[in-house]
Amino acid sequence: MVAGVVFQQRHTSDSQVNTRLSKVLRGGRLAEERWAEVQVGDVIRMENDQFVAADVLLLSTSEPNGLCFIETAELDGETNLKCRQCLPETAEMGQNDSLLGTFDGEIACETPNNLLNKFEGALAWKQKRFPLDNDKILLRGCILRNTQWCYGVVIFAGKDTKLMQNSGKTKFKRTSIDRLLNFIIIGIVFFLLSMCLFCMIACGIWETLTGQYFQVYLPWDKLVPSEPLGGATVIALLVFFSYAIVLNTVVPISLYVSVEVIRFAQSFLINWDEKMYYEKTGTAAKARTTTLNEELGQIEYVFSDKTGTLTQNIMTFNKCSIAGKVYGDIIDETTNEILEVTENTPTVDFSGNPNYEPDFKFYDGTLLDAVRQNNTDVHNFFRLLALCHTVMPEERNNKLEYQAQSPDESALVSAARNFGFVFKERSPNSITIEVNGQKEMYELLCILDFNNVRKRMSVILRRKGQLRLYCKGADNVIYERLKEDRGDMKSKTQEHLNKFAGEGLRTLCLAVRDLDEVFFNNWKHRHQEAALSLQNRDEKLDAIYEEIERDMTLLGATAIEDKLQDGVPQTIANLALAGIKIWVLTGDKQETAINIGYSCQLLTDEMIDIFIIDASTFEEVESQLVKYRESIRSVSNHQVPTAVSIVTFRWDQHSESEYQRGQSIDDSENGSSFALVINGHSLVHALHPQLEKLFLDVASQCKSVICCRVTPLQKAMVVELIKKNKKARTLAIGDGANDVSMIKAAHIGVGVSGQEGMQAVLASDYSIAQFRFLERLLLVHGRWSYYRMCKFLRYFFYKNFAFTLCHFWFAFFCGFSAQTVFDPFFISVYNLFYTSCPVLALGIFDQDVNDRYSIMYPRLYSPGHFDLLFNKKEFLRSALHGFFTSCVLFLIPYGTYKDGVSPKGHVLSDHMLLGSVVATILVIVVTAQIAMDTSYWTMFNHVTVWGSLTFYFALQFFYNFVIHGAYVGSLSKAMSEATFWFTTVLTVTVLMIPVLAWRFYFVDVKPTLSDRVRLKQRLAQLRSRQSQDVLRTPSARRTRRSIRSGYAFAHQEGFGRLITSGKIMRKLPRSNGGDFFFPSFSNHGGPSNLGGVPTHME
């Protein structure tokens, strides 16, 4: 039933994707088809903001020159727009359905593979062959942006798409407890066989020595040979099978049913947790599987995506430094201290600006005052932001909107807009802005485009005869190219940059340079030559750029917040205190990932070193890894160990060792002062069989690991590496289709219901709406589930051994004849009616400490890492406890009732009375035991525990007196005598006192952390006030000394060329009498060389 529910959930989720509709050309007309019915060769129409249904070759688009723009967040986690362009020959078909429907080109291409950034093929059409590459392909999972419509022919569909090729295979996941249970059950079966073998041999001996003389009272069956030795042998063989039936209850068949019921109920507790409900989207946490709950309490490694998982995918203009002065901090007028921004902090009112954006928030009003006071430095600062970019403006519903290639640029241009410097329009040769209601038009002479090596971009503009270069980029790059003057401003700005970086903000420096006409014309000529060079073109252009991007004047710096999701730093800090290592696997660039690492406290300036592996060859990667390993060893050999207190009250050696037992050297605190950052190119070599052990050796000794520019398949390979070599339980969390492979590879996959679609959620085992809910999912529900399941299993084996072995002891007194000590009805319903409900309530509701303390003291999570609560040793302890209990349960009543006579002379030594007494005491003892084991009493626990005991007596009397069972009158007769009550009290006392003494001794002398926290919780409840302990997790805005640059700019090279070529323009603005030259375009989209200002500049 449980499996059926899970299957139905999966089927429903898959149907949501497969039933998405796509427009397909059928017979020259568009028809809506489900994704599942889209086939290779179909021509499909895609519209703005729609998902692409398959891997398609782009045929035509609504944009000029066959361009279209896509967002690939589901593929690589990046939200910046990417450009694709179809062949000019196919672009001519436009949206003519009849022409597109008769498209008869033949495409020869590579076989299906998982390489997202590579495609090789050729199109044969109209007796011509056209080469195809990745720039002409739209992959499944992309979203069409800023493009009204486009058409494409399906190349790969379904499982052959690159997205699905990267998704990995769905594996059946089992918990470590499941594997241990299977091993234990096999051991119990052998134990059963050994008991049956012992009883068989003992029966043969008894029949040979004694039984043959009692055939008058116990006649042998006619099938048994009359010869003593042969008859005893046959009887013994038959008894083997009889005892296999009698003692079969030692093999807990009902255990698996009970385990699934508990897991099923625990899944609903996760689904119903209001503290994991995200009100903004109305999304609750959901357990999409019911078989992995306790594994949530044993996670050692968390592999997380960055974009959309740790961050919100939202960039906001937070602070800035202009002419050595910081803007953005809120200062308390009385104490001059910087105040923390909260939801109640008043924002600056921008409503006086007709182009302001209501969603834009800034808290320091002094910056707007400086703008209104016409502060020259501030005006130059915002002019640069409004002019130096590759953003495209667009009018939608009479509202100005920006389409940026990166969220960073969008945030900067948006900030300029709200402060009154509105970017209005652009053409290939001009940029128009509006400053406080006055239009300013600039002639665009050149865009010096951004790339990952330059780490900067510049524009050269002319207005009113004045030439000026505006530049923005990384602080170290800009500072190297500044004039030697204004040293005081540079040092102040550097201090501000360090402050911004320490707060986890993304920084850019802004600079400007005035140019003279002669110098620029000379430079422009050499720039043209370099742009037309066929050899070493990029190197020559970089050298030319260097000539003009120098002797600049610093304007200031911007600080953008790549907004983390709420509670991310606290969550990561608490998970780290719980002994969980966190690795970030992202498709984003290195600078951005490092910056986020600092923001969420994965990287700190207190770390001894941060290792960056960025080599591109096998030998170089190996050399870097060896070097870093030696650095770690060198530091570890000279480092003096320090004692670190994990909790807020004293914790002695015994309790610490309870949770540290079995911890390996490479997990020790000596290795926690390092971090490792590695990019995708280096990771290819690091995952090579010859290097993976070295890579793992270095990575496992680092507190944090960040893998950048990794493909979806590499994410899965990293997870598999840890699973295979560390034998650790892993969890992968992500929100996009690019995370599906690692979600499937990890022991547990968690999908975040984010902005990158639902692919990750559909492939996950658990889904949550925010990363911060992972803390509660693991430290509360995961730990509780593991704790409950372990306690359930220990008790279940105990009660089963206590019940079954009573038959074994009775065998010594019945000639090993396979006679049962209990009523057959009692044997049938013992596990079903008398003991099932209390143990199920224990497994569903029990908890040692509440959720608040579980999060406050994350070290409580550690026992799951070392399997401390249930393992082979704990099983043997439970089995021996049951063994001892069964022995006392049988022998004390047997000794009492053997040859027993009541005061009235009634004989009490009959088999049925003894069986009823032992059965009754057994139920009382196991009920008392579970009452002692229950740490958290709910209404359900009270009803099931005391109700089961009451139900036993009620059912016994109903069965015997109403249905007239075989044991009618036995229990009532026994209970009418004082002997029964004395025997019951004596047996229960003998069995319970050692357990109580053992527990009191260890709680008092060797308490675990759980014992201490539980005591603290109870004392707090008695005082009826909340604990004053403070949750010691780092603040998300903790200022610290910075040894790094805050530079991070999610930008892509190439948009500068598109802008200046005019290919990206939907329509060119009409000339309004200015002196600017607007080029005409040939049929192939290229600029005509008509003289004047060059129409295409790099």
Q: What are the tens digits of pLDDT across the range 775-825?
A: 999 999 999 999 999 999 999 999 999 999 999 999 999 889 889 999 888
**Residues composing the chain:** 1098
Q: Please, what is the angle between helix 836-845 and helix 783-811, to 10°?
A: 160
Q: 3-state DSSP call for residue 505?
A: coil
Instruction: Look at the alpha carbons of 69, 74, 79, 82 in this order and tell me if their dihedral is positive or negative.
Output: negative
Report the alpha-carbon distance of residue 728 to residue 580 in Å, rounded. Answer: 11
The radius of gyration of the chain from alpha carbons, rounded to an integer in Å, stands at: 38
Q: Please, what is the angle between helix 978-1005 and helix 911-933, to 10°?
A: 30
Report the alpha-carbon distance of residue 461 to residue 444 in Å, rounded. Answer: 5
Q: Tokens standing for 196?
A: 């049956």
- Bridging pattern class, strands 67-71 and 55-61: unpaired
- For residue 721, report the phi and psi dihedrals to the nearest 5 degrees: -60, -45
Asked if 400 and 379 touch (Cβ cutoff 8 Å), the reply is: no
Report the alpha-carbon distance of residue 410 to residue 1049 in Å, rounded. Answer: 11
Tokens 């050499």 belong to 526
Stretches in the chain below the pLDDT threshold 50: 2, 640-671, 1025-1043, 1070-1098
Asked if 792 and 843 touch (Cβ cutoff 8 Å), the reply is: yes
**Strand partners for 124:** 106, 129
Q: Cβ atoms within 10 A of the Cβ of 797, count?
A: 24
Asked if 415 and 385 touch (Cβ cutoff 8 Å), the reply is: yes
Strand order in the sheet with 143-145: 81-85, 67-71, 143-145
Residues 1044, 1049, 1050, 1051, Cα dihedral to 10°: -140
DSSP 807-868: HHHHHTTTTT----SS-HHHHHHIIIIISHHHHHHHHHH--SS-HHHHHH-GGGGGGGGGT-
- For residue 768, report the phi and psi dihedrals to the nearest 5 degrees: -135, 165
Report the alpha-carbon distance of residue 632 to residue 668 in Å, rounded. Answer: 13
Amino acid at the residue 1066: R
Q: Tokens standing for 702?
A: 């680092």
Report the alpha-carbon distance of residue 857 to residue 1031 in Å, rounded. Answer: 8
Compute the C-alpha angle 597/600/602, nearest 5°.
Answer: 50
Report the alpha-carbon distance of residue 23 to residue 52 in Å, rounded. Answer: 11
What burial class does residue 511 get, using C-beta atoms within 10 Å of its C-beta: 0-12 exposed, 13-18 middle, 19+ buried? buried
Report the alpha-carbon distance of residue 99 to residue 838 in Å, rounded. Answer: 72
Residues 978, 983, 985, 987, Cα dihedral to 10°: 180
Q: Which residues, at least 6 apart from 1061, have a Cβ–Cβ distance to it below 8 Å?
A: 428, 1086, 1087, 1095, 1096
334-345 as b/e, with b when 16 or more CB fall inside 10 Å?
Answer: eeeeeeeeeeee
End-to-end CA distance of the chain: 65
Asked if 738 and 74 touch (Cβ cutoff 8 Å), the reply is: yes
Amino acid at the residue 395: E
Q: Cβ atoms within 10 A of the Cβ of 652, count?
A: 10
Report the alpha-carbon distance of residue 713 to residue 720 in Å, rounded. Answer: 11
Which pTM value belongs to this model?
0.78
Q: Cβ atoms within 10 A of the Cβ of 1035, count?
A: 12
Q: Tokens standing for 374?
A: 């016409």
Catalytic one among 42, 55, 76, 305? 305
Predicted confidence at residue 1051, as pLDDT, reads 65
Predicted confidence at residue 644, as pLDDT, reads 40
Report the alpha-carbon distance of residue 632 to residue 593 in Å, rounded. Answer: 23
Q: Give the H/E segment covering residue 446.
A: strand 438-448
Report the alpha-carbon distance of residue 987 to residue 978 in Å, rounded. Answer: 14
Q: Which residues, at least 6 apart from 166, have a Cβ–Cβ distance to it below 8 Å?
A: 114, 116, 711, 712, 713, 737, 738, 740, 741
Predicted confidence at residue 1048, as pLDDT, reads 62
Q: Which residues, at least 6 apart from 724, have a Cβ–Cβ distance to it below 8 Å?
A: none
Asked if 992 and 1000 touch (Cβ cutoff 8 Å), the reply is: no
Let me know if 305 is a catalytic residue: yes
Asked if 541 and 458 touch (Cβ cutoff 8 Å), the reply is: no
Report the alpha-carbon distance of residue 84 to residue 88 in Å, rounded. Answer: 12
Extract the runs of DSSP E, i.e. beta strands, from 519-600: 553-564, 581-585
Report the alpha-carbon distance of residue 86 to residue 954 in Å, rounded. Answer: 81
Q: Cβ atoms within 10 A of the Cβ of 813, count?
A: 15
Q: Tokens standing for 292?
A: 């992995």
Q: Tokens standing for 313?
A: 């995918």
pLDDT, tens digit (0-9, with 9 covering 90-100), for 497-556: 888 877 778 889 999 999 999 999 999 989 888 887 777 877 888 889 999 999 999 999
DSSP 183-230: HHHHHHHHHHHHHHHHHHHHHHHHHHHTGGGGTTTSPPPTTS-SSHHH
